[in-house]
Amino acid sequence: MSNVDQVVLNFSPGSLNLLNGILAVVMFSIAIDLTPADFKRLAKAPKPLLTGLASQFIVLPLLTFGLVLLTQPQPSIALGLILVAACPGGNISNFITHRAGGNSALSVSMTAFSTVSAIFLTPFNIAFWGSLYAPTREILKATSVDPVAVAITVGFMLVLPLILGVTLNVKRPDITARMRTPLQWLSMAIFIAFVAAALMANWSLFLQWAGMVAALVLMHNALALGGGYSLARIAGLSEFDRRAVTIETGIQNSGLGLVLIFAFFQGLGGMAVVAAFWGIWHILSGIALAGYMNRTVAVREAPIKS
């Protein structure tokens, strides 16, 4: 086994608990934008949402597996790519979708639904795709990841804050109206600061191995964005909805990925570097893509097929 597969990053149990709390606050800040009416509206016209979820949990893991087979990276790096692809959409996707002139309501709902779905689909995708590739299958056997434990972790960290946020928005919209914008900016700032601090604590290791994963992460992220846009176009969604699906697929919850890596894989180096580099790159690529998309106004209606 090569060096990167043996590296364990410096990340204390206290830091893991802090990251859990930060991600819960970030999820809560998004949830206070939602009401049950948002979910009912999507239930009446579910095509964009179902397309987005298919892109998130079927197309992206499939493309990731193809990338792993094609490039055959070292086992911990391969499993890191698979794990990131198995995570739900990242919370910053809502902000980036808004900047791109896409359907922000669809983006927020996709984040919510993918987060709930992640209780079952994240552990399933890690186990399923990881077991199909022999080198990553060995890591899964050695770590004995319990899908139920993963589901509980995701539930408490993401789904519980989602339920609490929606409930507060229904019961006391006056409170959520005042706290919405400040809390969203504050939670994202704290999250970015935490990731930066974690990187500094492992800076030498990150620099040593980042070059190895950089090209793979760039290709992986490009596949995610391209796969999301392609599926949305094939499904006949409007440009307005395509932008949301594209960005939601290309912005992964790498913070959750880091939690799972340190909680269940003992901070395995290749996996952690992949998730950390994803956490930096998808923000840069997402903002750049949003700037490009925002140059034209998105058509809100799907094109009529002749």
Domains of the chain: 3-293 (1.20.1530.20)
Q: Provide the pLDDT confidence category of residue 171 given band limits of 50, 70 and 90.
A: confident
pLDDT in tens, 8-63: 555 555 666 676 677 777 778 777 877 777 777 777 778 999 999 999 999 999 99
Minimum mean pLDDT among 60-69, 249-258, 294-303: which range? 294-303
CA distance 252 to 43: 24
Cα 110 to chain centroid distance, Å, stands at 11
Among 2-16, 74-88, 95-109, the range of highest mean pLDDT: 74-88
115-138 b/e (C-beta count within 10 Å ≥ 16 → b): bbbbbebbbbbbbebbeebebbee
CA distance 17 to 255: 12
Q: What is the mean pLDDT of residues 97-110?
A: 83
pLDDT in tens, 179-210: 877 877 777 777 677 667 666 666 666 666 66
Q: CA-CA-CA-CA torsion for 218, 137, 132, 125, nearest 10 degrees?
A: -70
Among 107-116, 241-250, 292-301, the range of highest mean pLDDT: 241-250
> Are 221 and 250 spatial neighbours (Cβ–Cβ below 8 Å)?
yes
Q: What is the mean pLDDT of residues 213-219?
A: 89
What pTM was estimated for this model as a whole?
A: 0.80
